[in-house]
Each structure stands twice: as structure tokens, then as C-alpha cells.
Amino acid sequence: MASVLESMPQQLKAASIRARVQAGVVSVLVGSTFSASLALAASPDDQFLNARTAYNTRNQAALASALQSLQSQQYILAPYADYWLMLLNLSQADKTSVRDFLNRYQDLPFADRVRGEWLKSLARRGDWETFFEEYPKFKREDLAVSCYAADGGIQQGLESAVLDGKALWLSANELPANCEAVFDRLQKGGVLREEDIWARTRLLLQGAKITVAKTVLQRLPGFDKANQKLLDKVYQNPQQVLEKRQISLNSKLGKELNLFALERLSRTQPALALDHWEKLHKSFEVADRDYFWGRFALHAARKHDPMALSYFERAGNASLDKEQLEWRARAAMRATDWKALQTAIAQMPESQRDELVWQYWKARALKEQKQLVAANLILVKLARENSYYGLLAEEEMGDVLEAPVAVYKASAEDLRLALEVPGIQRALALRRLEMRTESRAEWQLATSNFDDKQLIAVAELAFKEGWYDVAISTSDRTKLLHDFGLRYPTPYRDIMQGYAAENSLDEAWVYGLIRQESRFVSWAKSVAGASGLMQVMPATAQWIAKRLGMGDYKPAMINQLDTNLRFGTHYLRYTMDQMNNQALMATAAYNAGPGRPRRWASDKPLEGAIYAETIPFSETRDYVKKVLGNSYYYSQQLGTKKQSLKERLGTVPGIGSAVSAEED
């Protein structure tokens, strides 16, 4: 595989090759020249790995010794040994030594983590003076630190801290244990009231965070812990709770739990939930009725119920959250009610309206209502984006936009300068030692303020080292100058072409899918267990092996490049056959299984872009848009089967004519 060395000056290249021969590793520049001890790179590498082991086993003496040796050799990763030693000593370290450390390593990604851990230590010790001197410098998101800051601020009488604590309270997720002290102070001071407790309880029940909801309810005056069991009862069998009237409506808790039961039933049996609501709704106040209709409408929209828009209308003055607002717009889209779509988008907060997705659909709504000037003002701006919505906007504009994209290729000088950046050197060294999290953190921080030319140069370095996912993510960040060969690389094409042809698949589509699945990380493995470039699930791999007559198949084989591509393209062909050659539905089927895309079809032909936008699963919705957008760009790169994005999205046939009858 090609290396970054190919673009280096000849003298440095020769030195690097000698180092490769002597040390058997990819060399790393120190400053603008090689370290004098580079030929012995294996020895400091071993010492560094020993230092990491010493840290993991909390052996401070061994770690300190390794650090001293690494520093004496000016080893590029010596700061990490110093970092590990600081973490082990942080609870006892004086503020002068910690500040010296933070100043020394302020340009390294671990500095902020040390500051965060130090802030927690300072808070536990009650050293609020030092805490608030350092807190403004802390950049990471850490809820534990935020809660300590609110707690300390409240103790010091800061009104802003009270507001921060109240904002933390209104979370739909479990929070760190130290946040309870903040809430205790707020409740004792009368800031956290009963209505706030009910508000958070409702948020938690919406997300089925039952355990946290039980804890929150204990803050109610006189709350009977025996009632906590009722939450489990509703969660496990909402239908039974409603049918047998197991929970009285004579209390606030009873009403909330019945609303919870109605919402849970709405997700799976909306008609039954509606029947129960008709019997119970008079027991609720207007605000609760509006709340029910807002939640019921959300679930109806996700199920593509043609009545969803009318249900949203019945929500009255209910405050709709981000998800509800989005699905109100999608329901209008699905009904091709362009005026309702425009209204739904207008009701979103500005930050949501400014998202590319809603900018595009607002423009479409305007265009469909013949408001062409207003629509084009949005489309022209959006078309400058090299993205799924940018492509759709450009295609809506037709031949109006002809300006070519500015393409840039990194020069040898660009690469040389990129290699001199210490953070890039450390990132490459950490990757060589398979410290993936640390290497990415170094890379991200080192490139955070790069301009387009610098981003393209370092992306080229990553590509030449086979670090494809980083090459893609880095080149994706350019604004005006672009290298689409780095954004949409085609590694393993000698193998890929054969399997794509064997299965009669559009090569650009296959590459677009792999880019989204794994970004060409051959060892990638998902939480669900999918493996390799094409993220094939173990059970699917076994099924494919039987179809291909591979009697000697072993599960470990799916991680092999050749097998993974063979199986993945075979399964992609299968989904294409199941979806009657409709690429959009086949892409959805590859992600969510062949049965679901059929259920997402309408009773009449549906524009592909609308079908994609109204997929109920957020992961699959995002997936299909990115895969098909990728496919368009790959077709430009490869010169194969050039289609517009709208042609790739196509039209999804109505139910009954779209696909084969075979189910999952």
C-alpha cells in the first residue's frame, strides 16, 4: 500500500526507508527532521507500551521510570506517559504542578480531560476558588463538571448557577450522581417545584426511563414508594392497565400513568389507544388533552397514518418538541400538502428551520405553490453545499447553476508542511501503536483550525497510510476547495469490480454503501455484531454461505476482505431483487431488513425523496440519504452509470406493485 513517503523529498524518503528496514515500523518526523534515535524506534515504542501497562496497573514507580527514559530520548509520545502519571497523582497534586502540566501540554487533546478531572477533584475538596478560576478554560462537555459548577455557584449565591441547575434538571436522561446535590439545593430553596418534578417525570416516561423516573418521583412531598411498582406495571402491559382500570384517575400520579399507558399503546395499537382515550379524556384537563394528541399524532405520523395532520391540529396549544415538529412536517410531506408543510416548518424554532433538511423542504413547498422567487433564493444558497440536500437543490435549479466546483490536489510541499505538524506526527505514531481513540483525538485537534489546502494535504497523508476513514472525514470538512478523490476513495477496487459485476450491481452504489457502512475500515464491527467493510451480520453471513454452497464456512471468515465483499454484494443483490430493482428501497432493506421498506411504501406512487425523508427509523433514514448521495459522487468519480440523485431515488411504487411478496 502506498505511504505518505511517496510525496516526501528524496533525502527524507531515503532516511525513512532505512528506518523502516531497521525498525520495521512507519517512521514519524520529529520537528522538521528525524529523531537521532529513530533507528532504535522499536525500543522506545516498547518502553512506551510498558508505560501504558504501568498506568493500567497503577504502578507509579514503573511509570515514572519509563517517563524519564522516554523524555531523555525525546520520544514523540512521551507526553502521554506524563499524562498517565498526572492522572494517577491528580487527587494529591498541588495546583501549581497541575497548572504547570496544563500549560506545558495545552496543545494536546488530553489537557482538557486532565482539567476536567482536576475540576471534579477540586469540587469534592470544596476548593471553589480554584475551581472557578479554571472552569472557564474547560471546553469539553461533562455533565458531572457542569453539576459541580452549578452546585458551587449556588453555594456562592450566583443567580446564573440557579438557572444552569434548573436547565440540568429538565433532562430526559439519567444524570451523574453528583447532580443530586444541585437539585437538593434547588428544591430546598423553592426553585425546584412540584410542577418541575412532574415535567421531568413526563419527559422520562416518554423515553421509557423508568428507573430514573422512580427516583425523580421520590422528590414529591409524601410520595409513597409503593407506587413505584405502578410504573413497571404500565411499562410492561399498558393495555391491561387501561382495560382493567388498574390505576385511578383521581390523583396527579394516576393521570400521568394513564397518559403513559395511552402513549405506550399508541406506539403499537393506535386504534385501541384511541378507543380508551375516548372513554377517559373527560377526566383530563385541557393541557393534558393537548399533550395526549401531540404524542398520539407523533406516533401516527411515524406510522404514516393519513390522519396524522388532523391529530396534530387537535394538539391545540401543546408545546411540541423537536421530534414532533419534524414529524408534523413529514406528515404534510407524505400527504403532499405543501401549504401544511410550509406552515409546519414555520412553527419550528429558528435553529431547526436553518437545518439543511428543512431549508430544502421549505424551498420545495414554496416552489410547489408557484412561489418561485422565494424558493430559488433558498435553493441557490443550498446548492453550494456538497451534500445530499445540496445535490437535490442543484437539480431543482436545473441548468441555472453551471459554476464548476473548485478542485485542489495537495502538492509535495503541502505534504511536507503537514508532516511537520507535531499533532499530526503524534496521531500517526499513536495509530501505528493501535491507540485509535488517542490518535483520532490528536488528529482532530491538530486539524481543527486548518484551511482547505491544509485539510486536503493531511487527508492525503491519511489516505496514503491506509487510514481511509480519517481521510474521508478530514476531506469532508473543506468549504471552498475540494478533493473528491479523497472524499470518495475507491480502495480494493480490483476485488470490488469483480463482485459488483458478478452480481450486476452499480459499482458506484456499492462504494456509496461501503463508505456509509464502514468508511473502508476492514476490521469494523458494530454494536450489533455486523463485521467488515460491508457490515454483514453473523446470521446473514451463515445464510449467504448456505446459498453459495460454502460448506466449509467459518464465522471468522466474514472478517476476511474477499469473503466480506463477496457476501455483502450477494446480499445487496438479494435486496435489489426483493425490491424489484428499486435502489432506494433496496438500500433501506440492506440496513433495516427486506420486510420494513414495503411497509413504508404508500398506497400510491411516492416521490423517492419523500419516501426517504419519511422513513420511521432515524438511522435508516439518514443511511439511505447518505448512501445514495455517496453513490452520485462515486458515479462522477468512476464515470459509471451517471444518474442524477433524483433518478437514483426514483419513484417508489404503491403498495402491491412495488416489490416481491416475500417477507423477512
Catalytic residue annotation: 517
Which neighbouring-strand residues pair with 481?
Answer: 406
8-state DSSP, 281: G
List the alpha helices (DSSP H) in 347-449.
350-353, 356-368, 372-382, 388-397, 412-419, 422-432, 436-446
Strand pairing category for 481-482 and 406-407:
parallel
What is the CA 137 to chain-centroid distance, rounded? Answer: 26
Other beta carbons within 10 Å of 663: 10
d(CA 577, CA 572): 9
Main-chain phi, psi angles of 582, to 5 degrees: -90, 105
Other beta carbons within 10 Å of 351: 8
Residue closest to 214 by CA, chosen among 243, 234, 190, 189: 234
Helix then strand then coil, in percent of the chain rounded to 5, is: 65, 0, 30
8-state DSSP, 7: G
H or E element: which one contains 290? Answer: helix 286-302
Amino acid at position 30, single letter = V
Look-up: residue for cell 419527559? 203
d(CA 530, CA 381): 39
Residue closest to 407 by CA, chosen among 570, 614, 637: 637
Q: Are 252 and 198 in contact (CB under 8 A)?
A: yes
Exposure on the CB side of residue 317, measured as CA atoms within 13 A: 4
